[in-house]
Structure 1
Amino acid sequence: MNHEIAEILIWDSVNIKVLDVRRREVNREEELNSYVLPTSGFIFTTGRVQLSLDDVPYETNRFSIFHGRKDTRLSILAGDDTIEYFIVLYRSGTQRSERVVQSPNESETNPFRKTYGFTPENPIFYLELLRRMHTRWQTGEPLDRFYVKGAFYQLVYEIYEVITSKKLGALQPDIVLMCQSYMKNHYLEVISIKTLADNLNISYSQLIRNFKKKTGQSPQEYLTGIKIESACDYLGKTNIPMKDIANSCGFYDEYHFSNLFKKHMGISPTKYRKKVTSTMKDTSIADKRDSSYNEEGYKNLINLTYEKGEITMKRKMKQHAAFAAALSLVLLMGGCSAPAGETNSQRETSVQQEQENNAEADTAETKVVETLKGDVEVPLNPQRIVIGFFQGDLLKLGIKPVGSSFNDDAVFEGELSDVTVVDPWGLDAEQVMSLEPDLIIWNNPDEYDTLSKIAPTVVMDYYSMTVDERVTFLGELVGRKERAETALKEFHDKVEAGIKTISDNGLQNETVILLENQAAGSLRAFGDNYGRGGELIYQYLGLKAPQRIIDEVIRVPETNFIDISYEALPQYSADFIFSDERIVELEDNTVWKSLQAVKEDRLIQTNSGMFWFSDITSMNAQLDFILENLLAAAK
């Protein structure tokens, strides 16, 4: 026996008493806020409505029917100028017959304990029936009350006819409203948009898309707006120091708070406080205690008692504070347990249906890539990338990141002057989150768990990959495969031309050493895979390193450089020396001046910033520098 038949048998075998038929017209200035159903009941709404049952929000655009069990918390907010709703309360009594077949799980088939909602195909029938029921109920006459009881059974019959025919338009919880409610109640915490999406069984890209469609903002912009509004309240009504306001409103620090505040409000927090307090001379800290900031308000609420406290009048609030029901931490972060009478399978089926409805759109906008941390779903065409190192590769692919590791003295420093610098060695999760990335590319697997809660994160072992492997991977990752192929072809053509130039000038058998001046008494010599031009000079152009460098660095696994004392320098002698700016400190060093390359003026001083990087943009610039200066020094 299926659940619907079992429920119908229960309805048929149990005495039902109608307790009340209520009708209200409310506008945008009113709401039914957290009304607790005293017993089971049906709720009927007309027009555009935001409604929540036990803090699970729904949004409907036409006539809708809901059922709530006893103690269900109900909130209704009008989306149109005026909406009409009915509440029909009833109580189930004793069983009249033995026809009911008990289910192994009675809660699954008890219709009085279930919570559900749907949109009927014929709303006029329900609306007219409910209006007649309400009119008759108001008289209090026995005959009219008897009419209402009969009409109630007709109502239940019509509802189950729709349910059993499978023609109902089942209402799904509004994912965006759920996220908004959670943010309003937990904005002081570190909120991961990626984790919210995961716990709601919705893809990250789908959540971002739905959120922007509904609110015109990204989730991170919306969250920042809540924090800014809270900060405005503190600035205008208290004398609390900026640092404490920053901490109290969920900002990383005072600097982060000040930057975001100015970005959103157009003026600094200090100027805002002066401007507001100049018109609020009587504001005090006591006022702040009496009207502390919380989700309802920043609070333009006027609590008036009306009809047993059911209706709360309120002034118009900002759009993002319109829906007042708070989603519990357990619901969002603890697995979304079903309410009594609703099985996990029913909730999973509901979510699965929503996912299937969006599957085609999702397929077109995301893909799965294999990474060091397993398969990761990423946007097909990411727009806001944060990358740690190798930002020059992205630039060559035509993508400017919103955040990257340092760019000091890089050939692309000017191009990325307005890009936020993130610390690749001291991760600031709040800073990364504030950039609202839709993709993070990182090299430290230990930070994956933190970053993946912010946005889809791809961990790459940059330094074990060749230029071709890395640029090809990045091109496929960000949807720029053809540009990656073009960039690599141009690079290799340039290398081939460089090899020919070296050969034409008889330099193919010359040796080159790469040095950096360190602390007094030593120099650092690099191999062929740690920047400083090593990849280009040794691997691509084919120039040779001194034999000691080959034996002690290049051929030694996981060794990228060695430190050499001044006294040992002659043992690493080379025809050409490439070194950083600090090499001038050795001008008076006797051993240094004795080196053949120094005596023959074959010392090439590089820009350490340019040569620190080994992305394809930097390597193209380095290749030009190497060839130009090598030929000049050889003359």
Structure 2
Amino acid sequence: MDMILQQNEHLGLWSHAFIRISHMEKLSLRPGAQGVSVAFPASGFFCISGGSALMLLNNRVYSPNGMHIFHVPPHSRMELNAGADGLDCSIVLYEAELDSRTPADLKEEMQKCNPFHAAYHYAPAQQGMVFTLLEQMFELWGDVQPQAGMRLKGLAYQWISYVVEQYHTGQEPQKTISPVQLVTMAMEYMLDHYANPLTLETLAAAVGLSPGHLSNRFKQVLNRGPIDCLIRLRMEKACRLLEETKLPLKPIAASVGYQDVYYFSNAFKKHVGCSPTRYRQQWTARDLHSAQDNVTSEGGRYPIVEAHPRDYTDNNYYYQLVDGGSEEMFKNTKMVPASLLIAFGLLLGACGNGSTEVTTGGAGNGAQTQAEATAPAKETGGSTGAATRVVSTAKGDVEVPANPERVVTDFYLGYLLALDVKPVGTNKMFLENPYLIDQVEGIVDVSDNLEAILELEPDLIVTGSADQYEAYTKIAPTVFIENGDDVREQTKQLSIILGKEAKAEAWLQEFEEQLAEAKERVGKIIKEGEKVTVFDGGIAKNNSLYGSAYTGRTFHGHLGLPMNEKVARDIDPAVGWLSLSNEMITQYAGDYIFMAVSADKETFDYAGDPIWSTLEAVQENRLYEIDGYRFYFSDPISVTGQIRDITEMLEARAAE
């Protein structure tokens, strides 16, 4: 869990600290690289300079994209999975000690929240200086000249100052732009550029969206696409010019974005119901009374620009929509400004289109249109057709669909599939889970791409990312589930959210039966009193040793295989693992060893290594290499598969 650091105390403690850089290292991961383990024996900074990743850090999953900085507590372990664009990152480990003259109040603050042991992260707003100084530090780190150490120390203080200050100055949460705000931005752009050649692509680029995303937002807010709105705007402008000027058709067409007069005339007739020439003749010939029976009149239409235009922040204006029906279109900041709706002909009384027929004069008398008769019915939260439930989550009560049909999840794919819920989108890493590979056809890779999620039109989002939660809530009802180790409890929790309690009970019963059978089979091989140890790394200078979490979860947690007493004593349960040098493995090795290796199935000659060859487990052929990637996942389907793999692996070796 990230700590909350107060700026003054945080900066004050750093100011009174002696800092020594103890290690610096760069990593570059190929696209799609999986399960790369990084150990932090001391406090440090993990700096991403390019690419993207899905990473696990001390029981929390993060998905940074682009430049990002993490402050990592000592004795932490990070697992990295590179995105499609790979990952470039740096590690800076340091040691910090407070000056003896540090004020007592600051020392008290340190007891409450130690900034050198705190976990926090952010995307730096001013990236240039941070990463420029970091590069200079790397140059000095490799310099053997005596003066390099002093220069490195000076740069380190400067760099940490930038990093810590930007952490605090950048803590204002990013505002997520709502669909209504996006539509308003695009409409304002059209209003300024309608005379220019515009396409869906140029409109989307102007507001920083994809064409599909922009179209979806317009249909969501206005029930029509952006190009339809652009045509309406151009026709409204053309109507004004035909009414108020004697300009020929060619310059009128050009002034509203049409270089071809013939094409303009056809578009005008299709939208208004008559040709531009006929429209001008009718406007000129008719007085106020005759206009009420025809296309439009001073009393029968709104002016394109009101005499007293309403401010964009008018919060309680009721609109008469061209789609029919008086309703409060948007409330508070979620309104599309009235002046924009008028300018685009989206309120009654505009010069109209071919499918809208004004049957009475003024807009204030409840005028009805053909559009109103054909508009689809919309269910509201209070309608009898709306089927929702309220569920309690770590973020409070959330109203969710009773039977969600288009679920998106970032980290809980295996849980959803176990409950017979096939999501429409999830993270690529989980799509490649070997235990799920035959069940994921048709599921879209969205990672944490908000635009990709929007295009799937989900009715529910299930997330384990506290950082993305607020952004997801702008798209669909969102449920936040904290990442935990207990597969049973998380399955129950998700079943309540998804309305799959019966399925969860059936799975739990089957799981317990399979687990009991596996324990019985494993118990015939691993005898009472024999110990099991789970390592990661192969024959390496440093290895990771697991307790009952991470890769050791299924071995010690579910199957209950006993660990070496020293393992149980030395591993902090809150951390779940321990980094140790190759020379120390003899102190922790059990009668059976399971070694997690990289996903490319590399193998090691343990019997030929001077240290590993001394272990009884190696001598008795009781060291088993496992695919670390397969044992990364902790969902119900993966855990069931891991239990099966362990059981079959032991039985196969015993039968040799």
- TM-score (structure 2 length as normaliser): 0.46
Structure with the bigger RCO (C-alpha within 8 Å, sep 6+) is 1
State the structure with more CA Rg.
Answer: 1
